[in-house]
Structure 1
Amino acid sequence: MSDEIDPRTADLGYARVDVDRAERTGDAEVVYGAGKSPEQVIGILRTLHERHPDRAVLATRLDEVALDAVGTALAGATLHPEARAVTLGPLPAPQGTVAIVSAGTSDAPVAAEAALTARVHGAGVVEIGDVGVAGLHRLLSVRDRLADADCLIVVAGMEGALPSVVGGLTGVPLVAVPTSVGYGASFGGLAALLAMLNSCAPGVTVVNIDNGYGAGVFAARVARRAAPR
């Protein structure tokens, strides 16, 4: 094995941070906080910020202890409790628009993660909440706002019907996010996931259960490419 230092990676001992990802993909590495100690999250965030001081870096899925620790240790860090996330550094100028459409208040943490992720990855964001299919008139009243976006993120639990309805109302690119919200037969979001995967509305793409981060990255890339150059 070679002892040469790979400039694309920062080896912190407990993590090999991919500091070259922004050069390859246009988006810097993000810290997935679940399962990491607050000290590990702080170390990785600091390393990414030192490499990319001109842009925000993101840590997701942080509990209250980690949020407090990061806020204390890193000057300039911004806490986003609803999204369970932290950003360090300035957000980029927005390009294009992502609309985050969520079914109910219980879906708000996942929707907030998607919205923050899209902003960190360079998109403008519009948030449209509490428009689930149980009150269909609420969705129809914002139909024009759906058509104005470059990409839609549709977040829903329970039976997961909202993306199919939205997909039948507009031809805007759409990524659906099933959440783990619901009663017993929702099986922790599996029912919503299967409903979205089986959507009869064309053009609906689906990420994993509660994966607001993955949806945010996808939508931001669509919006950035759709923005005037």
Structure 2
Amino acid sequence: MKQAVLRRAAAVSAMAAAFVLAVAGPAAAHVTVNPSTATQGGYTKVSFRVPNESDTASTTKLEINLPENAPVASVSIKPVPGWTAAPVKTKLATPIKAHDSEITEAVTKITWTADKGAEIKPGTFQEFDVSLGPLPETDQMVFKALQTYSDGTVVRWIDEPTTDGTEPESPAPVLKLAAASDASTPASAPAEADASGSADAEESNSGAAWGIAGLVAGLAGLVLGLLAYRKAAQGAGA
């Protein structure tokens, strides 16, 4: 009888642990763009946040692909100490207009490569800032990213958003674009709007919610396991 109760307690605890892992799964770190929203026709500074997910290898290179179907006329890269940025321009099939000028080529890829000693070590992250504008009149920009590790592993964050709202296995960073309102700053004034603070707060709140849910589930499993163990001990004593 005692062994059966103990087996039941172990099963309950295992189920609780599995639930905690399932809750933590969607919060797994991946390459993101922050802030995640901006205004069509405006300028913005975005940060590509790159966490290191390996326990043994460091991130040595990041490749960000800008969507060719939604080109941006002006792309400026903020230097990152210890990293070399290499932008690649592509001739546009259809030229775009920016400040009364016709733009025939645009940056479609940026590759950052780490110098020795500047790699993103396990348990750390790095941010790569880029100024973009005028932003295209489209609902979103999908930045397909490739993350290279020191052991040769390449993680491809290239999955586009799903139609049902679920997160794909390897999601690409996505910048949502809202239509400009009458109160918006005109596109002719290239002022960089840095909304990273609010985006960081939103991401932090989301992570905290997942963490609390996992903690509650873990505590519930622990309590159930202890109660089952106590019951088994009382039965054995009787």
- TM-score range, shorter-chain basis? under 0.3
The TM-score, its normalising length taken from structure 2, stands at 0.20
Which structure features the higher share of helix residues? 1
The TM-score, its normalising length taken from structure 1, stands at 0.21
**Which structure's relative contact order is higher, taking Cα pairs within 8 Å and 6+ residues apart?**
2
